[in-house]
Amino acid sequence: MERFINLLIIDDDEKTQKGLKEILSGGGNNILVVNTITEALPVLSKKEIGILLIDVDSPSFDGFEIFKAIKEISVIKNIYILVITTNSYSGIKMVKGLNEGAIDYITKPFNPNLILAKIEVYKALFYKDQRINQLLNNIFPVTVLEDLNRYGKFSPKRVENGVVLFTDFVSFSQKASKIKPLQLLKKLEMYFTQFDEIIGRYKLEKIKTIGDSYMVLGGVTEDNSEPAVRACLAALEIRDFIINEKNVAQAMKTDYWEIRIGIHMGPLVAGIIGTKKFSFDVWGDTVNIASRAEQNAEPNTISLTDIVTENITQYFDVISRGKMEIKKRGGSLEMYFLDKLKVQYSLYNEGKIASGEIRSICQLSNVDADHMRKNILNRLKASLPEEIVYHDLGHTLNVEKAALRLAKLEGLDEEEILLLQTAVLYHDTGYIINDVDNEMFAINLAKANLPKYGYNEQQIETIIQIISATQHNGKKPETLLEMIMCDADHDYFGRADYYSVSKKLRQELENYDKVMTDKEWVVYQLNYLENIHEYYTETAKNIRQYGKSLRIQELKKILKYEEEASARSLK
């Protein structure tokens, strides 16, 4: 698995800069260089810098106190700072640096092996930090983690109108007894992973799973408005996903699962329990009633209490189902089935996917990027001709992955990443109808489709410009987003899987009667790599240019072998 990291060197000595770049190039290192702390601060505030190397012998060095400012402004708070100094002063400056927040030091003249060894250690720690943070984010809500980091604890919190959503599978025990444990686990994982994606889309918080039961909160750990509306939107998607899976299973004559969903809202207390193994949870009668509502739902239906219905009925169609008795607590509540979104608040008037208006009411992004992505990937999967074996769905996903990697290393914001990712997903849709001027079809499709998902005119125009940058018209990309698009499209030039990917390109060309001999194919590749292609962003140059140069050397050796073999055959 490829892993990448931004390393920032602060040093105004060109010889030192060049020496460190030569030592550290490769291995997923994106090396950035600035001359002074002043130049470094904007970089640190925008890009995730994992390791910082700073020359404390430089005349421009402002003192070790600057380390605190660096850590405060840095996107990554646990940045690893290494001091660069000369041997004669290393002891004194190392102690000062360590006292102010540095983690280690390297000395001049450089020992390449020692420097590489130290950098690899801190890279490993950086990747470990990332993994730990990822795991913590999967376990605790963001607001809880912020309090734990800031205060070392999370104080219990009372919420007056928290929303609780429960799901469970119908007749789960009977179905589980007929499936092997590993198969059961995989099936649950498939469903719960899809649920995670859906509830994340509506800024809700999964609390836990208990067997086949899945519990979600709204209005407790997030600030978005209308938690009941968001919970209902998520519930509709979960229900429709399960119904679709059932329909497919019935068509294939295989077993299927059905689901019950219940939603209630009211007072809740949220907090963390445990001293060694922490657990975030909520308590209150609201939880019990939500669970009761779910238990009394019918297969593949969503059961709402009256208080939830009062908060969402403006936007949804509901069906009254009478009163439900509340065990233990006593009394009863009026209950309803959630049917669908009102057509005026849904895309395509289908009552399923929220329009931009209701997303705005819920303080969600006006752009429904998740459904846009799913739609375009399904279209590529279903409509690309069999002859398209290179510019296929896999190619689009690989370019998307490369673009998101470059975007992260370049420090793009959420809006920029959205526009870039959208352009990537659309850029090869033209191959659905034509392998020539495919970008124009992609542009026209984007113009027609994207307004339905909430994109505004300015966003669409930016996306069109990014797609246009991939046209082979001799014009170079101008903006950073256009540069990343072009670099991601040819990311594989510098990867180890170059030959397996290029083999698909050759096959696709042959499918359209562009047949080449082995020698002609090598010449074709060399000409493109050496004379036409270039990487535009510094990041792509840092992480892919070396690999690309290796491909060129390898192809030249292959060409030489082909020419020698051809010469021998003529004798």
User: Looking at per-residue confidence, does 571 or 206 come out higher?
Assistant: 206
Confidence at residue 196, expressed as pLDDT on a 0 to 100 scale? 94
Highest average pLDDT, of 57-61, 97-101, 132-136, 528-532, comes from: 528-532
How far, in Å, CA of 238 to CA of 359, rounded?
A: 18
- Predicted confidence (pLDDT) at residue 329 exceeds the cutoff of 80: no
- Predicted confidence (pLDDT) at residue 93 exceeds the cutoff of 70: no
When pLDDT is cut at 50, 70 and 90, the band that residue 280 belongs to is confident
- All CATH 3.30.70.1230 domain ranges of the chain, comma separated, are 156-361
- Predicted confidence (pLDDT) at residue 405 exceeds the cutoff of 60: yes
Quickly count: other Cβ atoms within 10 Å of residue 124's Cβ: 11
Mapped onto helix, strand or coil, the DSSP state of residue 471 is coil
How far, in Å, CA of 73 to CA of 68, rounded?
A: 9
Give me the residue label for tokens 């519990």.
215
pLDDT in tens, 412-461: 999 999 999 999 999 999 999 876 778 889 999 999 999 988 899 999 99
Whether the CB-CB separation of 82 and 118 falls below 8 Å is answered with yes
Confidence at residue 88, expressed as pLDDT on a 0 to 100 scale? 52
Average pLDDT along the chain: 90
Whether the CB-CB separation of 54 and 30 falls below 8 Å is answered with no
Instruction: For residue 561, give the amino acid letter.
Output: Y
User: Looking at per-residue confidence, does 473 or 27 come out higher?
Assistant: 27
How far, in Å, CA of 498 to CA of 16, rounded?
A: 34
Percent of the chain whose predicted confidence (pLDDT) is above 90: 65
Question: Could you give the count of Cα atoms lying within 13 Å of 244 in the half-sphere of its Cβ?
Answer: 8
Confidence at residue 74, expressed as pLDDT on a 0 to 100 scale? 92
Task: Report the CATH architecture of 5-138.
Answer: 3-Layer(aba) Sandwich (3.40)
Confidence at residue 134, expressed as pLDDT on a 0 to 100 scale? 85
Q: Specify the DSSP class assigned to residue 528.
A: I
Write the DSSP assignment of 315-370 as a string of letters.
TEEEEEEEEEE-TTT-SEEEEEEEEEE-GGGBGGGSSSSB-HHHHHHTT--SS-HH
- Predicted confidence (pLDDT) at residue 308 exceeds the cutoff of 90: yes
Q: What number is the average pLDDT over the span 195-224?
A: 92
Percent of the chain whose predicted confidence (pLDDT) is above 70: 96
How far, in Å, CA of 388 to CA of 94, rounded?
A: 59
pTM across the whole model? 0.86
| Rg over CA atoms, the chain | 29
pLDDT in tens, 369-389: 998 999 999 999 999 999 999
Q: What number is the average pLDDT over the span 280-303?
A: 92
User: Which of these, 406, 509, 489, 495, lies nearest to 442 by C-alpha position?
Assistant: 489
- Predicted confidence (pLDDT) at residue 109 exceeds the cutoff of 60: yes
When pLDDT is cut at 50, 70 and 90, the band that residue 149 belongs to is confident
User: In what helix (H) or strand (E) does residue 281 lie, and over which residues does it extend?
Assistant: strand 279-283
**Lowest mean pLDDT: which of 95-99, 467-471, 549-553?**
95-99
Confidence at residue 95, expressed as pLDDT on a 0 to 100 scale? 60
Confidence at residue 99, expressed as pLDDT on a 0 to 100 scale? 62
Whether the CB-CB separation of 345 and 358 falls below 8 Å is answered with yes
Confidence at residue 49, expressed as pLDDT on a 0 to 100 scale? 96
- Predicted confidence (pLDDT) at residue 127 exceeds the cutoff of 70: yes
- Predicted confidence (pLDDT) at residue 119 exceeds the cutoff of 70: yes
- All CATH 3.40.50.2300 domain ranges of the chain, comma separated, are 5-138
What CA dihedral angle connects 69, 73, 77 and 80, to 10 degrees?
-60
Q: What number is the average pLDDT over the span 502-506?
A: 96
Confidence at residue 177, expressed as pLDDT on a 0 to 100 scale? 85
Q: What number is the average pLDDT over the span 320-339?
A: 81
- For the domain spanning 369-567, the CATH number is 1.10.3210.10
Confidence at residue 309, expressed as pLDDT on a 0 to 100 scale? 95
Q: What number is the average pLDDT over the span 12-38?
A: 92
Confidence at residue 33, expressed as pLDDT on a 0 to 100 scale? 95
pLDDT in tens, 338-362: 999 998 888 777 777 888 888 889 9
* 156-361 has CATH 3.30.390.10 classification: no
- Predicted confidence (pLDDT) at residue 71 exceeds the cutoff of 90: no
- Predicted confidence (pLDDT) at residue 87 exceeds the cutoff of 70: no
Confidence at residue 80, expressed as pLDDT on a 0 to 100 scale? 94
